Amino acid sequence: MHGVDPDRDTVEFALLQAAAESGKPFLGICRGFQVVNVALGGTLYTHIQDQLPGAIEHDYDSDTQRQFLAHAIRLEKNSSLAGIMSEPELKVNSLHHQGAKDLAPSLKPVAYAPDGLVEGLELPGHPFGMAVQWHPEWLLDQPVTRRLFGAFVEAAGQV
C-alpha cells in the first residue's frame, strides 16, 4: 500500500508511544518498523533507490516474491535481536521502498543490510521493544524466524 493515511498514522503512533512508555512488548514489521522510528522522532527515506547512495534492491514485488531471500542482514553481536536469532547474519526477504534515514534518538540500530540501511532496531531498556524491516511472518519455514515470534509471544505473556 502506498500513500499516506493520516488517521492510521495517528492511531498507530499513539499505540506505539503508549507501548513504549508502559513497557508493553511490541514488534514492528516492515511498515511497523517505520512507524516505530517515526513515532519516536526518526525520519525515513521516502524512496531508498533515489535517496541512499549505493542502495541495493529492497523493493521486490510483494505478490510474487514474499519468500524470496533478497539479501543478507548483519546483526549487532550484543543486541537482543542477535540473542534471539542466535546467528550473526541472516538472509531476509525485502519488500519495501522506504527505510530509516535518521533513527529516533531513543532507538538503537541492531541489524544492517549490505548497503548500510538499518533493518532492525531496539528500544534500549524496554522489556521487548524491537522492529524489523523485513517480513518474518512470510518466512515461518525458517527456525530463526520462529524464534523471533516465540520470544515476542513469551514477552507478551509476561505482561
For the range 18-24, what are the long-range contacts, defined as Cβ-Cβ under 8 Å and sequence gap of 24 or more?
19/129, 20/106, 20/123, 20/126, 20/129, 23/126, 23/127, 23/159, 24/159
Separation in Å, CA 157 to CA 97, 119, 153? 33, 26, 6
Q: Is 122 a catalytic residue?
A: no
Separation in Å, CA 149 to CA 10, 46, 50? 26, 28, 33
Q: Is 71 a catalytic residue?
A: no
Q: Is 97 a catalytic residue?
A: no
Distance CA 15, CA 39 (A): 9
Given the residues 30, 71, 119, 122, select the one marked as catalytic.
30
Given the residues 57, 87, 137, 154, select the one marked as catalytic.
137
Residues noted as catalytic: 30, 135, 137
